[in-house]
Amino acid sequence: MIKKISFIFIFFLFLIKNNKSQCISCYDEGGFCMENINTNSTKDIFYNCRDGLVCAAKKIGDKPNIWQCLEPSQLNQDCTSDSSCSIGLICDSLSNKCLNSRFAGIGESCINNFDCSGSSSTCTYGVCTTEIGEKCKETSDCKYGSACNIANGTCKILNDIDSNCKLNSDCIFGLICNNGKCDSLFTKSEGDSCVQDIDCNQFENLYCSENTKMCEQYQIQDQSSTNCSLDNLCDKYHACSCDGNCYINYLLPTQNAIAYDPLIKCILENKCTWVNNIYSSNSCISRNCGKQLCFYHSTNIQDNPLTCGNSYESDNYCSINHSIKTNPNIVFIFLIIILISLFILI
């Protein structure tokens, strides 16, 4: 298994996309963390690990329903899967040890095959390569600017900025298709068609409406006088807790643009491939954009009844990359100050 983005806030983003209110119980070490008890038609109770623990199999072969909250395994310590390992490490399926591996894309330096991110790539004379005639199994098997067409196992060359396109997937990672041309993120205006929020100019508080599939102004709903567990009144950036209140579970449009834009620009500038282990200290993204990646994930930290705390992995990654955590509230206040200053000048 390949370690994907594992910050807890992303887990909750997908967890809460349903019509029920969520009751979160935080377990200490040894607690069974994959249980989901449906108490009635309106509420789910989820058991999750407290901050600093991982939810993983204690023994190889354990089914997810008996996974437990465990201390994360460090470099060269035993593991059962990627979930066992601390951030930036991958569980090697042969040795069952957490290794700093799967961080190098095609054309990047390596010492052994485990350094190479792709399933079909190997380390040849110190460089990750894919053998001639070898079919790709994932995009990491392709060089920068290409993506794997899983259907036929070939690498498809993607288009750079200002090149022709029909879909977002025609453009290299970090660009969107805007009016038939590959363009930067956050460039579509109010009323333009969209597929995802980052198509829209989130700097101007736009988001992609799930109903109209158009960029619209985001307006936070007044939910102070209602019980969301009865009517599911939370918007797409909030989730309903079993206490009847809506809590933020994802960055609001403007907050996201401030945090995500510098990361994407850095990745594009350094031509980094989105490898399977971007959090490795040896990956192109961590080496060149570690500060920006730390900033992005730090802004996503939420502290409310929907979380069990989610700062441990961010703190760990940021300390390795010598970056400073930034609270999203500080970012938002800073933005307000800028807007007020511009208003005064006008």
What does the pLDDT read at residue 47? 61
Between CA 237 and CA 62 the distance in angstroms is: 34
pTM (2 d.p.): 0.81
Q: Please report how many Cα atoms fall inside a 13 Å half-sphere around the Cα of residue 277, on the Cβ side.
A: 30
| pLDDT in the model for residue 277 | 96
Supply the pLDDT for residue 132: 75
Measured CA to CA, the distance from residue 62 to residue 26 in angstroms comes to: 21
- Is the Cβ–Cβ distance between 64 and 52 less than 8 Å? no
Strand-pair partners of 36: 46
Amino acid 57: pLDDT: 94
**What length is written for the chain?**
346
Q: Is 341 helix (H, G, I), strand (E, B) or coil?
A: helix
pLDDT score recorded for residue 321 = 61
Q: Crossing angle of helices 328-345/284-299, nearest 10°?
A: 80
Q: Give pLDDT, residue 245.
A: 86
Question: What sign does the CA torsion over 236, 55, 3, 6 have?
Answer: positive
pLDDT for 7 equals 38
* pLDDT value for 104: 98
pLDDT at position 26 is: 86
Across the 346 residues of the chain, what is the mean pLDDT of every consecutive 10-residue run? 40 43 83 65 62 92 91 97 94 95 97 94 95 86 94 94 95 95 97 96 97 95 69 81 86 96 98 95 96 92 81 82 47 45 46
Report the run of H or E that residue 294 belongs to, with start and end. Answer: helix 284-299
Per-residue confidence (pLDDT) for residue 12, from 0 to 100 = 36
